[in-house]
Every structure is written in C-alpha cells, then in structure tokens.
Amino acid sequence: MIIITTPVHPIIFDSLSEKGLQFKHLPNANYNELLEQITEATGLIVATQITIDKRMIDSATNLKWIGRLGSGMEHIDVVYANSKNIRCVSSPEGNRTAVAEHALGLLLCLMRNISKSNNEVKKRIWLREENRGIELNGKTVGIIGFGNTGSAFARLLSAFNVTVLAHDKYKQGFGNEYIIESTVEAITQRADVISFHLPLTNETKHIANDAFFKKLQKKPYIINTSRGSIIDTKKLREAIENDSIKGAALDVLENEKLSSYSEIENDDFNFLSSSENVLLTPHIGGYSFEASFQLSNVLLKKIEPFLK
C-alpha cells in the first residue's frame, strides 16, 4: 500500500494503477490520522503538511521508501529513516524553472515599481517620476545556494547582461563566462541583488541575520524563494528601517500560518505588508501548472526502482 498525503498530478495515480499497486490518497490527513494508517504503508508520498519524525517512522513497520514531492527534506528525519533502511528521494528538478521565473518576476517588479505603481494607478494616482525604476542590466546579482533553483535563476539572468556571483558551500567548479564562484562575504560587499536558494537546515537557518545585514555595502534588493527561516524576519525589518537594503521580495515566511501569529509576529508582518518596497507572495514560486506535472513525473522516475 502506498499512502499519498499531498495533492499530486493525476499521472501518479495513473502510473500506480497501471502497475497494479494499491494506494490511498489522503491529502487532508493530519499527523495523527497518518500515524493511525502508516503501519500498512510500504511507500509514502509527502510534501510539507506532515512531519515524518522518529515516532512516525517507528510506526511505519512496513515502509520501504519516502518520496518528497518538491524540494527540501526538513520535514523528514532522513537520517533516522535511512537507519531503518527506508530510502528517501525528492523531486527539486520538477519546479526549479517555476521558482526561478518567480524570483525573476519578483525582482523586476521591485526594481521597476510595478506592483506599487499598479496599485496607485488603480486608485487614479498617476506618478511617473516617483516610480522611476532601476534597470537590472549591468548589475551584480549574488546567488546564495547554487542547486536546482539557484542555477535555474542564473540561467534566466544570463539574458540581462549581469554579473552573477554564486556561492554554494557544497559545490565547486560551476563557474562559467558569466557566473563567478564567490563567497558570502564577497556577495555582501559587491551585490546589487541577493537571492537565496537554500534548503532549511540547522546550518542555514537565519543565515541572513544581524551580522549579514550589517555587512551589506550596496543597499541590495533581497529575494527569498527558498524557506522563510533562511532570513531572520526581525533583522530584515531592521535592515529596511535602517535603509540598509533597497527592498525585499519574499515568497516564503518564517511562519506561514498567518492566523497563528503572536503579537510580535503580527507587528513584523504588518510592517512588511505596509512597506512599499516589500513584496509578499504566498509560497507560490514553485506553483505553476507545468511544475505540478513535472514534480510528479520526476518523482515517479525516482521511485520507479522501489515499485518493482
């Protein structure tokens, strides 16, 4: 039995059915509901709605593999799963183009005041000089994290005559005629734009902290389409208040359950949402119709060996 706890493209249902495999689709299940049924699962397809921790894994006595629809494995205790001979795979290749396009769209929207001026014109406010924008052409863009989405973002930027400074602690040898392998230190000193494309780990949480923002030399734009906790929200707010950055575009937040906010979280969110140089979108970077198919298709190919 394969349990699927997230919305997926029908190609997954069709493929499993063609192979004569039984599956349950439980897209609205919570942790306890999955825990009650996990013992019958030999395979599990998940996103981020449910944490697959040691308790869940210990209860999954027949589980052979876990397929993560998308990128980022922070909701799965991969080390413990592997210790139980449970294979874990993800499908970050499936939505890298969607995330890269969204990052580029956010950046252009910020630099050219597109969202701000759109809102003004709809209120019959016609301000041209006040919305004079900044061109991306000729700028230096820092990319922190050069995996699937970071490299896809760099490919899109190649059309804009920019210098790309890319840093990845765990990759080398990816530089070319327009990508310079760099350090975070160099990016904070030279970049006009800094875009984060990192998984969330103990190492990367709050990598954009007080020390990071204090090192910035050129008042860059900050883009985050990876995970909200990569950036310390309070320190981002201070950087905006101190005029240390020109603006920020966030597709992700530290806490994306807006109804659960504390008074402090509400105060920070209200500040960001009322700032004209801040763009917020609801974690839709990887949510394109094309990505829906690609994520499922990539995952199917990766779990194919487990299904035989």
| Active-site amino acid positions | 227, 256, 283
Q: Which helix (H) or strand (E) holds 17?
A: helix 10-18
Q: Which pair of structure tokens corresponds to residue 6? A: 């997230």
90-108: string of b/e by CB count within 10 Å (b at 16+)? bbbbbbbbbbbbbbbbbbe
Residue 200 DSSP SS3:
coil
Q: Which residues of 253-271 are buried (b: 16+ CB within 10 A; e: fewer)?
A: bbeeeeeeeeeebeebbee
CA angle 288, 254, 93 (to 5 degrees): 35
Angle, alpha carbons 252-292-50 (nearest 5°): 55
Question: Residue 273's CB: how many other CB atoms inside 10 A?
Answer: 10
Helix (H), strand (E), coil (C) string for 221-262: EEEECCCHHHECHHHHHHHHHCCCCCEEEECCCCCCCHHHCC
Contacts of 239 (CB under 8 A, 6+ apart): 213, 216, 222, 245
- CA dist., res. 224 & res. 250, Å (int): 5
Amino acid present at 171: K
